[in-house]
Amino acid sequence: MPIPANHSKPVRQSAKEKAFNQIQEWIIDGTLQPGEKLNDTELAHALGSSRTPVRESLQLLEVQGFVKMYPGKGTEVTEIQREAINDLLPPLAALQSLSAELAIDHITADQLKQLDAINERFAQLISSNNAYAALKVDEEFHQVIIDISKNAYIKSIVENLQAHVRRHFFHNSIILAERSIEEHKAIIKFMRDRNKDKVAVIMKENWLRTLEDF
């Protein structure tokens, strides 16, 4: 089970949070492959922690569908079901659409500028064919809007769905289209104009079009 030694180490996190975030990221980016058996001792050594937070994080990852634990036999990374993307994107699109509507009541001029800047970075990555980095920046764009919406329930659900979507995008080599750049610009415009109806429509289209392309 090859695990890189030079992974980023987040600060101000509990051992359990650190283990959860890093193992989840390894599963998402393919460092830990679907069907791979996981050894909690090896993971603990790689993370510089004890086995307890690793075991606790694996239990949470099982609840979220990233691993499967077999009592007395071990733990495996779950397989990727290609068709599952059809179940993931529609609810995510609906929640992202709602978050954009709610965010309009709170968004500031500085936050609109922040979204503009993020979309510029996104456009640069798209033009340089850096697909995975573009996906991360796209996620950042939408996360800012979710944070602005100030709805903890949406944030929690989207966080889980988004992690699965990121894994599907990576393993199925899904590349975000250039149209996403213009859709982001439209989202920002409608938020600036305080137009909830239009921002809800374009946000949903932004996500569901990816499903059509897939």
Same domain, 107 and 197: yes
pLDDT of residue 2: 58
Q: What pLDDT sits at residue 10? A: 46
Find the mean pLDDT for residues 15-22: 90
**Position 3 in a domain:** no
Mark whether 73 and 95 lie in a shared domain.
Answer: no
Domain with 52 in it: 15-77
Range 37-54 average pLDDT: 92
- Residues 70, 124, single domain; the answer is no
Instruction: Tell me the per-residue pLDDT of 64-94, one tens digit each, with 9 for 90 and over.
Output: 999 999 988 889 999 988 888 889 999 999 9
**Shared-domain flag, residues 46 and 133:** no
CATH number for the domain spanning 108: value is 1.20.120.530
Q: Tokens in use for 190?
A: 């409608």
What pLDDT, on the 0 to 100 scale, is given for residue 14?
A: 84
Indicate whether 7 belongs to any domain.
Answer: no
The CATH number of residue 61's host domain is 1.10.10.10
Contact 39, 76 (CB under 8 A): no
Position 6 in a domain? no
How much is the pLDDT for 12?
54
Asked if 32 and 58 sit in the same domain, the reply is: yes
Residues 122 and 190 in one domain: yes
88 and 165 assigned to the same domain: yes
- Percentage of the residues of the chain whose pLDDT score is greater than 90: 66
Q: Quick one: 107 and 195 in the same domain? A: yes
Same domain, 185 and 95: yes
My answer on whether 132 and 37 are in the same domain is no
- Same structural domain, 51 and 131: no
Q: Which long-range contacts (CB under 8 A, 24 or more apart) does 39-45 make?
A: 39/1, 39/74, 40/75, 42/1, 42/3, 43/3, 43/19, 44/19
Tell me what the mean pLDDT of segment 11-21 comes to: 80
Please report which confidence band the pLDDT of residue 52 belongs to, taking 50, 70 and 90 as the band edges.
Answer: very high
* pLDDT greater than 60 at residue 5: no
The per-residue pLDDT of the chain, averaged, comes to 89
- Helix, strand or coil for residue 36? coil
